[in-house]
């Protein structure tokens, strides 16, 4: 457990989210993915990843009166963490959206109840996972919905409760690296709202987390009144025939500005930053040359974001729900070009 957060960050090259699985409402396979196997973790390692972000739901497995988490679920999560650690993979274990009990309630009138649940859950999680070495990190939340500065004291109380609960379980958890999330895990909001890290009983063991989804290219699924979806991205990838779906903002210079901003605010001050999620949807509505240009844009985008993050000391964890690696078919790589973009982007 001897590594500081900065030293641990230097060991993480490229991370993969196992999304839509252990955080799925209704059970691990409820959103269409198979159960996580050790073979899946080994395949991810062979593909070039050396870290896993494990989004997990807990509330659906907890007694709503006592807060006690079902032991069978706790054992299953622990088994998956062991798959990672046994294969020398770093693993970031969180409380994900989980029905929104924390994320949707960063407000004063919910603060007491949410903190009670936050303390109860993290006391149990940390106790169960206490014996894993520094390959395991905990993340207190996922995407806390904070829009105004007035919500920040509430968010900070949730982070403080998380840190205090983990540290109180003792053992290796007294020294484990912990990750806290910015307001809406947004880089711009971090710059304007985040003023200081929570307090800790040990020095240099905290990291900060942001996510990165420039909306119109990565997630907007149809044209809207405020702007069209962007199908293409990058200086050499604009369409000459479908100009309505070329981006008019948020290309290379924007990416560099975003990661430079977060580097100056945190990394340069000795606080490592985790890029906990980033991806770009595949536009399956396109065909022919438009689809080919979109796929080229998407690969270029993922490579560019990965490269810019790494250049600024930010740790990239790609969000995958089964489109990159086929978890149900010998863990075959479904998109070799995208994997190549990730691995090359993460290579200095």
Tokens of 146: 């904070």
DSSP strand pairing (178-181 vs 206-212): parallel
Residues in CB range of 240: below 8 A, 6 or more apart? none
Cα(63)–Cα(66) distance, rounded to whole angstroms? 6
What proportions of the chain, in percent to the nearest 5, are helix, strand and coil?
45, 15, 45
Q: Are 312 and 23 in contact (CB under 8 A)?
A: no
Residues in CB range of 289: below 8 A, 6 or more apart? 241
Between the CA of residue 208 and those of 198, 211, 231, what are the distances in Å? 11, 11, 31
Element (H, E) at 112: helix 111-128
Q: Which residues are catalytic?
A: 143, 277
Between the CA of residue 105 and those of 35, 60, 100, 209, 318, what are the distances in Å? 30, 17, 7, 19, 27
The C-alpha torsion from 172 through 133 and 57 to 335, rounded to 10°, is: 160
Q: What does the DSSP 8-state code read for residue 236?
A: T
Q: What does the DSSP 8-state code read for residue 83?
A: H
Tokens of 342: 């990730």
> What is the residue whose two structure tokens read 């605010």?
265
**3-state DSSP call for residue 52?**
strand
Q: What are phi and psi of 19, to 5 degrees?
A: -85, 160
Going by C-alpha positions, the residue among 262, 170, 153 that lies closest to residue 207 is 262
Burial of 295 (0-12, 13-18, 19+ CB in 10 A): middle
């Amino acid at each position: 457990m001897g590594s500081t957060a900065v030293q641990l960050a230097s060991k993480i090259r490229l991370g993969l989210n196992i999304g839509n699985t252990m955080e799925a409402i209704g059970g691990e396979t409820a959103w269409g993915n198979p159960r996580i196997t050790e073979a899946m973790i080994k395949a991810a390692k062979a593909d070039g990843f050396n870290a896993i972000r494990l989004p997990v739901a807990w509330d659906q497995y907890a007694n709503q009166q006592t807060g006690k988490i079902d032991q069978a679920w706790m054992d299953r999560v622990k088994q998956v963490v062991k798959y990672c650690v046994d294969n020398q993979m770093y693993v970031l274990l969180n409380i994900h959206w989980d029905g929104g009990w924390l994320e949707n309630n960063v407000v004063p009138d919910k603060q007491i109840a949410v903190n009670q649940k936050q303390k109860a859950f993290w006391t149990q999680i940390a106790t169960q996972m206490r014996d894993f070495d520094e390959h395991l990190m905990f993340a207190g939340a996922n995407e806390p919905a904070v829009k105004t500065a007035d919500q920040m004291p509430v968010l900070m109380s949730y982070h403080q409760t998380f840190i205090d609960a983990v540290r109180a379980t003792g053992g290796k958890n007294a020294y484990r690296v912990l990750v806290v999330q910015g307001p809406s895990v947004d880089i711009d909001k971090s710059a304007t709202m985040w003023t200081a890290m929570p307090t800790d009983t040990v020095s240099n063991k905290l990291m900060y987390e942001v996510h990165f989804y420039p909306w119109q290219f990565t997630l907007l699924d149809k044209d809207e009144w405020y702007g069209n979806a962007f199908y293409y991205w990058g200086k050499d990838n604009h369409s000459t025939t479908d100009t309505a779906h070329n981006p008019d903002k948020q290309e290379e210079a924007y990416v560099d500005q975003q990661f430079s901003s977060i580097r100056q605010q945190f990394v340069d001050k000795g606080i490592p930053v985790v890029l906990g999620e980033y991806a770009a949807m595949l536009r399956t509505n396109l065909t022919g040359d438009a689809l080919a240009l979109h796929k080229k844009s998407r690969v270029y985008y993922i490579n560019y974001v990965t490269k810019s993050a790494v250049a600024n000391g930010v740790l990239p964890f790609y969000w995958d729900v089964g489109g990159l690696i086929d978890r149900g078919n010998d863990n075959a790589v479904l998109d070799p070009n995208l994997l190549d973009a990730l691995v090359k982007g993460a290579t200095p």
